[in-house]
Amino acid sequence: MTWLATVTGERHGDLPIAVIDGEIDASNAAEIADRLRELLTNRSAVLVVDLTRTTYLDSAGINLLFALGTELLDRQQGLHLVVPPTSPILRAISFTGLDALVPVHATREAAVEQAG
């Protein structure tokens, strides 16, 4: 993966949580998508993606999240995002309507509670 971003996988019980630290753009969106899919199992009902430490999200990153959200819905799974109200990427998520497709939470705790 490029040095622009790292994806760390965590678990809260059976719930996979991906923490993305850095920037998501056209140069690394495909690698990030692959890493997010690796965190899922057939038993995963929901994937939580924590974007708290994500500092930049371009159209490739938005497209990645739309595609992943749609893919998971088709497989009867879900995607939840963690985006604090002060995050620089929240406006892009709202402007594009991504927040109408997938739930967006201000904290990881809220996402875990809702997803669990």
pTM of the model: 0.94
Q: What's the pLDDT score for residue 1?
A: 45
Domain that holds residue 48: 5-115
What's the domain count of the chain?
Answer: 1
Q: Is the CB of residue 81 less than 8 Å from the CB of residue 93?
A: yes
Per-residue pLDDT of the chain (116 residues; tens, 9 = 90+): 447 999 999 999 889 999 999 999 999 999 999 999 999 988 899 999 999 999 999 999 999 999 999 999 999 999 999 999 999 999 999 999 999 999 999 999 999 999 97
Instruction: Tell me the one-letter amino acid at 4.
Output: L
Read off the CATH number of the domain in which 88 is found.
3.30.750.24
Q: Is the CB of residue 22 less than 8 Å from the CB of residue 57?
A: no
Q: What's the pLDDT score for residue 116?
A: 78
